Amino acid sequence: MHADESRESGQSSVRNALRRAVGAPTWHHAPVSAPTHGPAAVSYWLREPGPPADPPLAPGDDREVDIAIVGAGFTGLWTAIALTDTDPSLRVAVLEAETVAFGASGRNGGFCEASLTHGLANGIKHFPDELPVLEREGIENLQNLIDFTRAHGIDCDLEETGTLALADQPYQVEEFRAWVDEAAEHGEHLEFLDADAARAEVHSPLWHAGLYRPPGRDILVDPAKLCRGLARVARERGVRVHEHTRVTQLERRAGGVTVTAVAGATIRAAQVVVATSAYSGWLRRLGPLFVPVYDYALVSQPLTPAQRASIGWARRQGLADANNQFHYFRLTADDRILWGGYDAIHHFGSRVAPELDQRPQTFERLEAQFFRAFPQLDGLTFPYRWGGAIDTTSRFTVTFGRTMGGRVTYALGYTGLGVGASRWAAGVVRDFLLRPDEDRLRLRIVNSPPIPFPPEPLRSLTVETVRHELDRADRNEGRRGMLLRTLDALGIGFDS
Ligand X SMILES: Cc1cc2nc3c(=O)[nH]c(=O)nc-3n(C[C@H](O)[C@H](O)[C@H](O)COP(=O)(O)OP(=O)(O)OC[C@H]3O[C@@H](n4cnc5c(N)ncnc54)[C@H](O)[C@@H]3O)c2cc1C
Which residue ranges make up the site for ligand X (CB under 6 A)? 20, 70-76, 95-98, 102-105, 107-113, 246-247, 275-279, 282, 295, 297, 340, 388-390, 412, 414, 416-420, 422
Q: Would you say 173 or 278 has its CB closer to ligand X?
A: 278
Q: Would you say 231 or 492 has its CB closer to ligand X?
A: 231
| 118 burial type by CB count under 10 A (0-12 exposed, 13-18 middle, 19+ buried) | buried
- Supply the minimum distance, in Å, between the C-beta of residue 101 and ligand X: 7
Task: Look at phi and psi of residue 216 and say left if phi exceeds 0, alpha if psi is from -120 to 50, else beta.
Answer: left
Alpha helices by DSSP H, listed for 273-325, are: 305-310
Which residues are registered as beta bridge partners of 209?
A: 167, 194
Instruction: Give, for 201, the enclosing helix (H) or strand (E).
Output: helix 195-201
Q: Would you say 105 or 271 has its CB closer to ligand X?
A: 105
Residues 263-298 as b or e (16 or more Cβ within 10 Å = b): eebbbbbbbbbbbbbbbbbbbeebbbbbbbbbbbbb
Question: What Cα–Cα distance (Å) separates residue 242 from each residue in 49, 56, 149, 267, 470?
Answer: 15, 5, 23, 12, 41
Q: How many helices (H) and strands (E) does the chain have?
A: 13, 18
Q: Would you say 380 or 412 has its CB closer to ligand X?
A: 412
Q: In whole angstroms, give the CA distance from residue 494 to residue 324.
A: 10
- Supply the minimum distance, in Å, between the C-beta of residue 137 and ligand X: 16
Closest by Cα among 161, 166, 144 to 220: 161
- Supply the minimum distance, in Å, between the C-beta of residue 46 and ligand X: 11
- Supply the minimum distance, in Å, between the C-beta of residue 314 and ligand X: 22
CB 371 within 8 A of CB 377: yes
CB 387 within 8 A of CB 362: yes
- Supply the minimum distance, in Å, between the C-beta of residue 386 and ligand X: 7
Closest by Cα among 272, 274, 225 to 252: 272
- Supply the minimum distance, in Å, between the C-beta of residue 456 and ligand X: 21
Q: In whole angstroms, give the CA distance from residue 233 to residue 477.
A: 48
- Supply the minimum distance, in Å, between the C-beta of residue 246 and ligand X: 4
- Supply the minimum distance, in Å, between the C-beta of residue 245 and ligand X: 6
Q: Would you say 192 or 282 has its CB closer to ligand X?
A: 282
Q: Would you say 419 or 484 has its CB closer to ligand X?
A: 419
Q: Would you say 340 or 478 has its CB closer to ligand X?
A: 340
Q: Would you say 90 or 224 has its CB closer to ligand X?
A: 224
Q: Which amino acid is at 408?
A: V
Q: Would you say 102 or 384 has its CB closer to ligand X?
A: 102
Q: Would you say 209 or 390 has its CB closer to ligand X?
A: 390
Cβ atoms within 10 Å, residue 330: 24
3-class secondary structure for 434-484?
HCCCCHHHHCHHHHCCCCCCCCCCHHHHHHHHHHHHHHHHHHCCCCCCHHH
- Supply the minimum distance, in Å, between the C-beta of residue 294 and ligand X: 7
Q: In whole angstroms, give the CA distance from residue 491 to residue 118.
A: 14
- Supply the minimum distance, in Å, between the C-beta of residue 425 and ligand X: 8
Q: Would you say 35 or 481 has its CB closer to ligand X?
A: 35
- Supply the minimum distance, in Å, between the C-beta of residue 167 and ligand X: 20
DSSP class of residue 238?
A: T
CB 106 within 8 A of CB 223: yes
CB 313 within 8 A of CB 269: no
